[in-house]
Amino acid sequence: MKHKITTFVLLFIASNVFSQQKTIDEKVEELLKKMTIEEKVGQLNQYTNDANPTGPLVINPNKQEEIKKGLLGSMLNVMGADRTRKYQELAMQSRLKIPLLFGLDVIHGYKTTFPIPLAEAASWDLEAIEKSARIAAIEASATGIHWTFAPMVDISRDPRWGRVMEGAGEDTYLGSKIAFARVKGFQGDKLGELNSVMACAKHFAAYGAAVGGRDYNSVDMSDRMLWETYLPPFKAAVDAGAATFMNSFNDLNGIPATGNKYLQRDILKGKWNFKGFVVSDWGSIGEMIPHGFAKDSKDAAYKAITAGSDMDMESNAYRNNLAQLVKENKISIDIVDDAVRRILRKKFELGLFDNPFRYSDVERQKAQMNNPEHTKIAREVAAKSIVLLKNEKGILPLSKDLKTIAFIGPMVKPKRANHGFWAIDVKEIDSSYIVSQWEGLVNKIGKKSKLLYAKGCGINNDDKSGFKEAIDIANQSDVVIVSIGERHDMSGEAKSRSTINIPGVQEELVKELQKTGKPIVVLINAGRPLVFNWLADNMPTIVYTWWLGSEAGNAIADVLFGDYNPSGKLPMTFPRSEGQIPLYYNHFNTGRPSMNDNDIIYKSTYIDSPNSPKFPFGYGLSYTSFQYADLKLSKSAISKNEQIVVTMNLTNTGKYDGAEVVQLYIKDKLGSVVRPVKELKDFQKVFLKAGETKNITFTIDNSKLSFYNDKLVFDSEAGEFELMIGTSSEDIRLNANFELVD
Ligand code: NOJ
């Protein structure tokens, strides 16, 4: 009897507790009811920490007071658990104690720095990419960061644009897969887990198509191009559960993205049913004034909120005008409430109302910043991101028994150079942990071989006074490794270049070294595809290392000495000259296609340059060789609801174990609108031991055959298709035709 009573009491308490448990939506509504219009507007306002601005800074001496009054929803660029805690304490002095959200550009790692995103894309390794984002989240979240402004999922076909370094390159299919993997990596299992940060898909939309590759410039494109090429990675980010979006600086067909209702309300929050919130880019609400789209700050605030921008990063347009706009009945309070709701919901999901300090944990920060597992993975991802462009005389891999090695160039000794533009400011953290390229070589071979160093020249000046020393040590060596390229601040935001050569006298240095007759390995460090025709035509061995992060030195040494067999493939086309840009593999055929580089008369060509790229999309060599054979299609004709199973055998025919990225392209031969010459529709990265064969399977279904037709409806059309499987977009090894029937 006593037992029965206890059970009854427990059940009663449990059901009571259960009925008191409110959903997040209920909690948001309850809080919203208590908020004044000024407090609501405060939630839509975001300020930078003055110490580390990432845009044009306007000092506001009242920041702290505003936080205490509950007039700020979020801050960016606050670094470190103690500082995020300090600001959060100010927010806890406000009337409603609504916690701040801390955002930061954690683009490719926090302390442990991974390769720049474009380099990681060259790995075509979705698991590795997800892992790198996961580690970035683990480290950032321990410092109190709730939110990273990543991934950047902008497709770009223009290497003059400095921000190509931040994305996944030119291809929509690869870019969408990577967008998905990065969002999953940042957010982990669930928002609210202590090691999860909110992802932010940016920049919505079409920022990567800025005219002339000039940052912040206008974008003019057809709706078909927008939907087919530029939007899918954003949709993939929504599908992966991205908590937030950032809009972009550019205008799209005359309407600034920040004030663009079609993008933000109709597509993102409407058709895609996105439940998170949209943050503006830095000052982009206010920038609608110089765009000539808003009369003044009040008009800009009106246009941005109406179009669906929820949070104002650094323009003060919402702070100064939104309450007034509501009071004057120019905008409805419902529109403000909708934006506030979206932001509060995320704060609840992150668990900040239960404990606003839960992420700012000095002890966890200390532990995660020195996690050897993170370093190990950074080294692996860096090695996977390296692309071997040439290895004609089999100079690589280098023997570990070489007597003397000369390591020459301006990128050999610096540490910061390996980090690239968007790395978290290493001054804040101490840069000693970054493995320079020199240290990587010393770690690998320093005990066995004599290593000689000369800088040779700077990165971007014309001083040749160091050439002689470089030539002297080259003459004393069995092999010369030269490391040259772009300085870490030559690609990135506001780093567009009209000439994308290897700057300064670096190429001249290599020309002089060539005269020594020694075997030379050239390492090119850069944030984008560069033009380097002389090197490409005259140097037998070229390794594209991009900017590889804190384990750069070790990863480069792993590849040079064959401890990792390079497997990277270019995620962007490398042009022969800037004049060819935009140059991309999935172009249309035109009515007058040229069939080869000599076929130029009355053809769609230049009279002074071939159409072909210097290195095509999907290209990259290995120390081993792969044979593609035995292509089989389960059917040669299918209807829309059927699938074709494609199989083939891949054999490692060389001497080294290694991985190959098998790429599947499809061409739709005839359509109601013109279709590209080929489009990547699938790929697999396959590891094979020397001599091993694996059977590879792909599946083709209707989604791989569909496109935006003449009515802008995503659908397939009956007809003939060509299937191509290859080792790059230009080196197709197997092909077959199949048909889609009504
Ligand atoms: C401007 C950049 O366009 C954006 O990507 C970045 O997240 C913000 N600044 C904040 O730093």
Cβ of 493 less than 6 Å from ligand 1: yes
pLDDT < 70 stretches in the chain: 1-20, 426-427
The pair of three-digit structure tokens given for residue 226, joined into one six-digit string: 């927008």
pLDDT of 3 reads 54
- Cβ atoms < 10 Å from Cβ of 651: 17
Query: Residue 158 — φ and ψ, nearest 5°?
Result: -130, 100
Sheet arrangement for strand 626-633: 626-633, 644-652, 693-700
**To test ligand 1's pocket by mutation, which of 50, 246, 284, 424 has the most ligand atoms within 8 angstroms of CB?**
246
Cβ of 105 less than 6 Å from ligand 1: yes
Classify residue 714 as exposed, middle or buried by CB count within 10 Å of its CB (0-12, 13-18, 19+).
Answer: exposed
In 3D space, the residue among 506, 512, 510, 303 whose CA is nearest the CA of residue 417 turns out to be 506
Its sign, for the CA torsion 83, 86, 90, 92, is positive
Which residue's CA lies nearest to atom 4 of ligand 1?
Answer: 281
The pLDDT tens digits for 296-309 are 999 999 999 999 99
**To test ligand 1's pocket by mutation, which of 216, 493, 495 has the most ligand atoms within 8 angstroms of CB?**
493
pLDDT of 600 reads 84
- Cβ atoms < 10 Å from Cβ of 50: 13
pLDDT of 20 reads 64
d(CA 256, CA 205): 10
Cβ of 282 less than 6 Å from ligand 1: yes
DSSP string, 594-661: -SSTT--TTSSS-SSS-SS-SB-TT--B-SS-EEEEEEEES-SEE-TT--EEEEEEEEE-SSS-EEEE
The pair of three-digit structure tokens given for residue 467, joined into one six-digit string: 């050439």
Sheet arrangement for strand 74-76: 147-148, 101-104, 74-76, 45-48, 312-313
pLDDT of 424 reads 87
The pair of three-digit structure tokens given for residue 640, joined into one six-digit string: 């829309």
Which residue's CA lies nearest to atom 8 of ligand 1?
Answer: 282
The radius of gyration computed from the CA coordinates of the chain, to the nearest angstrom, equals 27
The pLDDT tens digits for 169-206 are 999 999 999 999 999 999 999 999 999 999 999 999 99
pLDDT of 599 reads 85
**pTM of this prediction exceeds 0.85:** yes
Cβ of 110 less than 6 Å from ligand 1: no
How far is residue 686 from each of residues 474, 633, 683, measured CA to CA in Å?
38, 20, 10
Architecture category of domain 381-580 in CATH: 3-Layer(aba) Sandwich (3.40)
Which residue's CA lies nearest to atom 3 of ligand 1?
Answer: 281
Ligand 1 centre distance from Cα of residue 500 (Å): 23
Give the number of the atom of ligand 1 that is nearest the alpha carbon of residue 55.
Answer: 9
pLDDT of 58 reads 85
Amino acid at 665: Y
pLDDT of 271 reads 98
d(CA 390, CA 384): 17
- Give all strands (DSSP E) within 233-328, no chain letters: 244-247, 251-252, 255-256, 277-279, 312-313
Cβ of 149 less than 6 Å from ligand 1: yes
**Active-site residue (options: 125, 215, 281, 337):** 281
d(CA 397, CA 404): 16
pLDDT of 426 reads 67
pLDDT of 317 reads 98
Top-level class of domain 626-740: mainly beta
pLDDT of 598 reads 86
d(CA 234, CA 176): 7
Ligand 1 centre distance from Cα of residue 481 (Å): 36
The answer to whether 688 and 650 have CB atoms below 8 angstroms apart is: yes
Q: Give me the percent of the chain exceeding a pLDDT of 90.
A: 93
Ligand 1 centre distance from Cα of residue 207 (Å): 12
Q: Where exactly are the structural domains of the chain?
A: 25-364, 381-580, 626-740
Ligand 1 centre distance from Cα of residue 572 (Å): 23
154 carries an active-site annotation: no
Ligand 1 centre distance from Cα of residue 83 (Å): 21
Classify residue 97 as exposed, middle or buried by CB count within 10 Å of its CB (0-12, 13-18, 19+).
Answer: exposed
In 3D space, the residue among 625, 636, 618, 612 whose CA is nearest the CA of residue 723 turns out to be 636
Roughly how many angstroms between the first and final C-alpha of the chain, as a whole number? Answer: 72
Cβ of 314 less than 6 Å from ligand 1: no
Query: Residue 530 — φ and ψ, nearest 5°?
Result: -110, 165
In 3D space, the residue among 171, 289, 311, 191 whose CA is nearest the CA of residue 236 turns out to be 171
- As a CATH number, domain 25-364 is 3.20.20.300
